[in-house]
Structure 1
Amino acid sequence: MPKRVVKTSLFLAIATAASHSVAGGFAINEQSISSMGTAFAGRSSSADDASTVFGNPAGMARIKREQVSGGLALIYAKTDIDNASGSFPGSNDGDMVPFIGAPMGYYVKPLNDNWSFGLGMYVPFGLVTDYERNFQGRYYGDRSEVRVITLQPTLSYRFNEQLSVGFGPTINRIDGELTSYAPNRATPGRNDGQVKIKGNDTALGFNLGILFEINDQSRIGMTYHSMVDYTLKGDTKIEGSGFSSFSGSKFDTTLVLKTPESVDFSITHELNPDWTLYAGSTWTRWSRLEEIRAVNKGVPAQLSPGLGNIVEEQNWHDTWSHAVGAAYKLNPQWTLRAGFAVDQSPTNNTNRSPRIPTGDRKVFSLGTAWSPNDDVTIDVAYSYLMEEDTQINHTSASKGNYRSTYKNSAHGLGTQVTYRF
């Protein structure tokens, strides 16, 4: 029993927490509210404000005035669980993702005609899943909370009127907490064994961007977000009758995990003074997530090898997302935006867990920007995410069976303020 409990607890330490992010896998898209209004189409080519520090560092070359942008995206997710059945009794309330907020902040300062400096703070990965205490699938996943916060100092250089490049190292802090249960077969749902894992790490990566301005109306961009290699260190605590006299014990834990690199391509075309069109695609190398490997130290012989060296295969696959969008300048003060995106899920039917019950998705977005004067712009955006139904089908000698159908959707609402000095 202990071996399977811990394997479930360590299952996809980061990804488990992001089953309803408005991006594939466990990535979060909401690093810019101005881009959110077009479903992030044109993210690496628009360079509308200081949030280009994330979208494309080379885009800072288009910003002529020192400016600061800050915002917050709120995500409300809804899940219906249907056709549930399992070896043990329990509830299937769904709606396991609480109301979540993702902050962002950016600063850009042109240094001269060629060089610009920028600084960004944003959330690239994370979110939370938290099922009810008596969830029927609790032996395959209960609570997951993971946060990744990134700080990115950045420089861009303009070679000429057409070509610009940008580069920024990323300093990434990850914190996580995971909980799972093991069944007490005598009285299921009562005195279950529990495993709680906490860990954190800080690791380095980088963002690299290229922007080519074909003419005054059209530009193309490409941004590379690097892989980040984490080694989370923390502790594993076990409790409950399933662990007999070892209940309450803690063990030092090390968990190795890589967040994937991605490449974003996009084009922005100003059709006329009123209309601007956007299109873009993002490739993400989720296939890096072949397995999760964790090591617990100081485990008593009675619990080893189950709590020693733990490997969980994931077998995720690479994905593409595609988006199109448009902006209409209603007058000098108001701009309206809209966008549509499709996004593949990296999960597969064999390994999909209640922690990550995601499928392919479609995203519809609307946004607006209000500029009362040349110094201030306020962006507001709304997104609706709709996922295809996904199936959970797990069988285990120790945890029993659990089968269900997940119907997921989410609403995103964000606002951002840009001030130019």
Structure 2
Amino acid sequence: MMTWQLEMGTACRKAVKLVLCTGALAAGQGMAGGLIAYEVGTADVGLASAGYGARAQDASTVLSNPAGMTRLEGTQFLAGGQLLWGNTKFSADTGTSPGLGGDNGGYAVGSNGWFPGGGGFLSYSVSPDLKLGFAVTGNFGAPLSYDNDWVGRYYVQETTLLGISLLPSIAYKVNDKLSLGAGVNAMYGIYTNYVAINNPAPGLGDGRLKMDDRSWGWGLNLGLLYEIDPGTRLGLTWNSQIDLDFKGPAKFSNLGPDLATILRNRGTLDADIKVGINVPQQAMASVFTQVNDRWAVLGSVGWQQWSKFGEVQLGISDTNDPVSLTQNLNFNDTWHVALGAQHRLSEPWLLNFGVAYDSGMQSGDVSPLLPVNSAWRFGVGGEQQLSKTTYWGIAAEYLYGGKLDTQLQTTAPVALGGRGKVVGSYNNTDVIYVAAYYNWKFF
């Protein structure tokens, strides 16, 4: 008995080290995939998130539904990594103010369209009915980087909004059918925003406003897993809202003397900027059913409360009358639906397929600060069992966001210190995800 406990303790310590190392690597790369992404380098990429809260086949359930840990034997660790390429590129129309130039900004997402992600997930068996879990991952936010002289520079040049989550979790099997789980989401938020300022004085070029801060936010993840029969299970999950209260001084550079004087007299030159961002609460219902020895069907329906997001746009609308440095942006709640399947091709190989749809968070025109809206997802992946204790998998997903129109208007013209009119679209927006993961079991 003592030998068994020592072996389990050693295995757990090794797995915890793997989680922290994997999470640290992913966090250092600025991982995320969208605002709230289902893609964190796991099998859910190939399933387009179908069955997200009911699959419970590996340690990534610590994130998707902590109650699912009761289905896992022993101590399990999953490391996942992914790379995405986003085709998010603005195209200006003739309605754009000529004084803004002709630079369309380049690929907005990540570094010239490229962006990494991933995570580490651990499930530890205290007993057959009691499980503990821990994960380090990031599924909230994204970095945007436009060319400094692009036509929308007075609205945004570069912005980073990322949330990196530490997820200690627990699960308990109440009876043969019902399992309950809970986890704390300790999210480390990173926020940076650069925007150009239109100097009314000739010959100075653009000024710049920068705001950056780091903040911790706290949330609660609750999960329920109910096994209707040995081959069918239902998962219900709820994630609370997380408040990231970013606050920092307005950092101006290269301002004309007249504008600097006006801002100083109005108390905004060195004022603190508050950017209260709320990571939305969300709820999801998922189902998994094993049709026969070869096929399983998965599905999900979810809701996210983006109307409480609270993102603001920085900048000065009219440098001759700089009344505010922030502007509120309004968003809509969104709905999510996904359907997928798993096919046992052979004893070592399992294939995943999935399709999903998310409704849009923005009505009509989108902000260049958040060039995202409704989207379709199409996923495919495969897993190979290498031994009783290890398997690996690869997955790919194509996300199609269609055409996103933008129409920004200000009363003051560019020549007199205004932001100007930015009219155009992001044509045929799409994202390609490629993921790989490896799972270990320690008995």
Common topology (TM > 0.5):
yes
Q: 1:356 aligned to 2:370? A: yes
> Per-residue deviation at 1:274?
1.1
TM-score, length-normalised on structure 2? 0.82
For 1:95, the aligned partner's letter is: Y
Structure 1 residues 164 and 32, CA gap change in structure 2 (3 angstroms)? farther
Q: Could you say which residue in structure 2 is the equivalent of 1:299?
A: none
Give ranges in structure 2 of 5+ residues lacking alignment.
Answer: 1-31, 315-319, 413-417
Residues 291 and 357 of structure 1, relative CA distance in 2, 3 Å threshold: closer
Number of the residue aligned with 1:223 = 237
Whether the 8 Å CA contact 2:373–2:404 is kept in 1: the answer is yes
Structure 1 position 95 matched with structure 2 position 107 = yes
Contact kept in structure 2, 1:123 and 1:150, CA below 8 Å: yes
Moved more, 97-106 or 153-162: 97-106
Equivalent runs, 1:191-202 vs 2, <5 Å: 191-202=205-216
After TM superposition, the structure 1 stretch with the greater mean CA deviation from structure 2, 155-164 or 94-103, is: 94-103
User: Where does the alignment leave 5 or more consecutive residues of structure 1 unmatched?
Assistant: 1-20, 295-301
Counterparts of 1:225 and 1:68, CA distance in 2:
23
Go from structure 1 to structure 2 and tell me whether the alpha carbon gap of 1:203 and 1:293 turns closer, same or farther (over 3 Å shift).
Answer: farther
Structure 1 length-normalised TM: 0.86
How far has the Cα of 1:253 moved from its partner? 3.6
The structure 1 residue matched to 2:292, chosen from 258, 265, 272, is 272
Does structure 1 conserve the Cα–Cα contact (< 8 Å) formed by 2:172 and 2:179?
Answer: yes
Find the aligned partners of 2:381 and 2:335 in 1 and give their Cα distance: 24
Tell me which residue corresponds to 1:338. 353
Q: Deviations over 1:294-346 (max 9, x none)?
A: 9xxxxxxx998535xx4x33221111011111111111211111111111120
Which residue matches 1:163? 178
- Specify which of 38, 42, 49 is matched with residue 40 of structure 1: 49
Indicate conservation of the 8 Å contact 1:192/1:242, yes or no: no
Q: Aligned in 2, Cα 1:92/1:304: closer, same or farther, shift over 3 Å?
A: closer
Cα deviation code 1:219-276 (max 9, x no counterpart): 0101111100121133321112346574997544433221110011110011111111
The equivalent residue for 1:416 is: 437
1:372 corresponds, among 386, 406, 411, to: 386
Q: 1:175 aligns with which of 190, 204, 218?
A: 190
For 2:218 and 2:309, how far apart are their aligned partners in 1?
A: 18
- Measure, in 2, the Cα distance between the counterparts of 1:61 and 1:198: 41
Paired residue total: 388
Cα distance in 2, alignment partners of residues 245 and 391 from structure 1: 32
Q: 1:207 is paired with a residue of what secondary structure? A: strand
Q: Map residues 199-278 of structure 1 onto 2, 5 A cutoff.
A: 199-242=213-256, 244=258, 246=260, 251-278=271-298
Q: Is the 8 A contact 2:284 2:302 kept in 1?
A: yes
Q: Letter of the aligned partner of 2:107 in structure 1?
A: D
From 68, 80, 89, the equivalent of 1:71 is: 80
Cα distance in 2 for partners of 1:82, 1:196 equals 25
1:54 matched to which residue of 2? 63
Determine if contact 2:313/2:329 at 8 Å carries over to the other structure: no
Q: Does 1:153 align with 2:168?
A: yes
CA positional deviation for 1:406: 0.8
Of 81, 92, 104, 2:90 maps to: 81
Are 2:406 and 2:422, in contact at CA under 8 Å, matched by a contact in 1?
yes
Q: Relative to total residues, which structure has the larger strand share, 1 or 2? A: 1
| 1:94-134 deviation per Cα after TM superposition (whole angstroms, max 9, x unaligned) | 31212111121111011112211000111021211101122
- Report if aligned partners of 1:139, 1:399 keep a CA contact under 8 Å in 2: yes
Contact persistence 1:32–1:51 (CA under 8 A): no
Q: For 1:283 and 1:339, how far apart are their aligned partners in 2? A: 19
C-alpha separation in 1, matches of 2:40 and 2:421:
39
Shift of 1:292: 4.1
* Partner SS, residue 44 of structure 2: helix
Residue identity matched to 1:412: Y
Tell me, what secondary structure is at the counterpart of 2:154?
Answer: helix
Counterpart check, 1:401 vs 2:421: yes
CA distance in 2, matches of 1:393, 1:269: 46
In the TM superposition, residue 83 of structure 1 has moved relative to its aligned partner by 4.6
Does residue 306 of structure 1 match 2:324?
A: yes
Q: Assess if the C-alpha contact under 8 Å between 2:313 and 2:369 holds in 1.
A: no
Q: Structure 1 CA distance, aligned partners of 2:57 and 2:179? A: 15
Residue identity over aligned pairs, in percent, reads 26
| Residues 108/409 of structure 1: CA separation in 2 closer, same or farther (3 Å cut) | same
Higher Cα radius of gyration: 2
